[in-house]
Amino acid sequence: MTQQPLDQDLFKVVGGSDKDSDALAAKSVSFWKEVSLRFSQNKLALGGIFILIIVVLMALIVPEVSQYKYSDQSGVYNAPPSAQFWFGTDELGRDIFVRVWAGARISLLIGVVAALIDLIIGVVWGSISGLVGGRVDNIMMRIADVLTAVPYLLVVIVLLVVMEPGIIPMIIALSITGWINMARIVRGEVLSIKNQEYVLAARTLGANTWHLILKHLVPNALGAILVTMTLTIPQAIFTEAFLSYLGLGVPAPQASWGTMASDGAKAIADYPWRLFFPAIFISLTIFAFNAVGDGLRDALDPKLRK
């Protein structure tokens, strides 16, 4: 037997590898299609999306186009809502309409960034822990256990006192223990996916850990991650408002919904609009995020699949 050299022509590339893998993913697109279909049948969740879109648009547009700046003092103090000042003015004669939307920027920023930081740390921590397993997993999860045991708000308050009040300290304080929940969820997802054939296959084909995390694990855990995130944002906005009331909010003349509402709460008897407008938008937004989060969870829940 002589070894015949393989004829290269016998093997032809029949189709681009990358494109093929995308084509394979088509099945999961149909999963998402189904999810979005179910989501779109949920009126409450759709309402939530609608509210969020409006709030975000207003927050982006109003402070740019308004004739007033959020810190401008008009000289008309504590004026009730009117054609000139749609939501009235505050104790320094600032237009509450502009301040509500400027405040929306800060509140949403704090909420979204805190949730994103949670997401990043949580995904990295959770997937490493889940993928590597063994002693590393054990240590990482024990660290998380201890950290969860630390009462959240106690730490946040102490932290905010150490760092001086501001947007960035607020975000840091909010995400310092917030990521643990995310890490747990990701780890759980990773553990359940880890030993499935396609992941094993990818591994045997020499895919490195990061590739695995980004290409395979994250997309599969996406549903759970998305739900957790949409529910983390309102939690952060809520906590920000709470901390503002304790005097740990963003410094003046900046305003967040939290600081506006806590100032307004003190003026409820004489100038109710100063509480009403920020309060309404905090509540609407928190409601909207919750509705969207719940809707997503229901839509993603395989048990409810028909």
Partner 1 sequence: MKNKKFFLLALIAALSLVLAACGFGGDSKSGDDNKSTDDSKTDDSGSSKKELKLVVASEPPSLHPQLATDTTSGAVLNEVFEGLTRLDSDTVPQPGMAEEWEESEDGLTYTFHLRDAKWSNGDPVVAEDFIYAWTWGLDPENMSEYASILYPIKGAQAFNEGKGSVEDLGLKAEDDKTLVVTLENPTPYFLQLTAFKTMAPLNQKAVEANEDWYTDAGDDYVTNGPFKLASWKHNDSIVLEKNEDYWDAANVDLEKVSIGMVEEESTAVTQFKKGEIDFLGSPFQTVALDSIDSFKSEDKLNISDQAGVYWYKLNTTDEVMKNKNIRKALTLAINRQELINSVTKGEQKPALGMVPVAIEGFEEDRGYYKDNDIEEAKKALEAGLKELGIAKAEDLEIKISMNTSEAHAAIAQFIQEGWNKELGIKTTLDNSEWQVYLEKLNMLDYQVGRMGWIADYNDAYSFLEMYTTADNGNNDTGWENPEYKSLMEQSIKELDANKRLDLLKQAEAIGMEEFPVAPIYYYTNLYVVGDHVKNMAPDVLGNFQLKNVKLD
Partner 2 sequence: MFKYILKRLGYMLLALFVIVTVTFFLMRLAPGSPFASERNFPPAIEEKLNETYGLNNPWYIQYKDYLIDAATFNFGESMKYKARSTNDMIAESFPVSLTLGIEAMLIAIGMGVLLGVISALYHNKFPDYAATIIAVLGISVPSFILASVMQYFLAYKLDLFPTAGWNGFIYSILPAFAIALAHMGFIAKLTRSSMLEQSNSDYVKMARAKGLGKWKVVFKHSLRNALLPVVTYLGPLTAGVVTGSFIVEQIFAIPGLGKHFVQSITNRDYTVIMGTTVFYSIILLFTVFIVDILYSIIDPRIKLKGEKKS
Chain contacts with partner 1 (rule: CB under 8 A): 71, 73, 75, 77-78, 91-93, 161, 164-165, 247, 251-253, 263, 265-271
Rg (alpha carbons) of the chain, rounded to whole number: 25
Distance in Å, CB of 68 to partner 1, minimum? 13
Site membership for partner 2, residue 16 (CB under 8 A)? no
Q: Do the beta carbons of residue 253 and residue 71 sit within 8 Å?
A: yes
Q: Do the beta carbons of residue 261 and residue 241 sit within 8 Å?
A: yes
Report d(CA 104, CA 96) in Å as an integer: 12
Question: Between residues 158 and 201, which has the closer beta carbon with respect to partner 1?
Answer: 158
Question: Between residues 127 and 259, which has the closer beta carbon with respect to partner 1?
Answer: 259
Report d(CA 144, CA 126) in Å as an integer: 10
Residue 150 binds which of partner 1, partner 2, none (CB < 5-8 A, kind-dependent): partner 2
Distance in Å, CB of 111 to partner 2, minimum? 13
Distances (CA, A) of 273 to 55, 87, 269: 19, 7, 10
Distance in Å, CB of 87 to partner 1, minimum? 17
Distances (CA, A) of 244 to 34, 76, 115, 255, 280: 41, 26, 19, 10, 17
Site membership for partner 2, residue 80 (CB under 8 A)? no
Site membership for partner 2, residue 241 (CB under 8 A)? yes
Position among 23, 153, 168, 200 found at the interface with partner 2 (CB under 8 A): 153
Q: At 160, which helix (H) or strand (E)?
A: helix 152-162
Query: For partner 2, what does the binding mask look like between residues 261 and 300, x meaning CB under 8 A?
Result: xx--xx-xx-----x---x--xxx-xx--xx--x------
- Residue 89's φ and ψ, nearest 5 degrees, are -125, 165
Distances (CA, A) of 266 to 62, 257, 260, 290: 26, 14, 10, 28
Q: Do the beta carbons of residue 109 and residue 60 sit within 8 Å?
A: no
Residue 251 binds which of partner 1, partner 2, none (CB < 5-8 A, kind-dependent): partner 1
Distance in Å, CB of 155 to partner 1, minimum? 18
Position among 61, 136, 150, 252 found at the interface with partner 2 (CB under 8 A): 150
Residue 301 binds which of partner 2, partner 1, none (CB < 5-8 A, kind-dependent): none
- Three-state DSSP class for 89? strand
Site membership for partner 2, residue 57 (CB under 8 A)? no
Binding interface with partner 2 (CB under 8 A) = 142, 145-147, 149-155, 157-159, 161-162, 234, 238, 241-242, 245-247, 258, 261-262, 265-266, 268-269, 275, 279, 282-284, 286-287, 290-291, 294
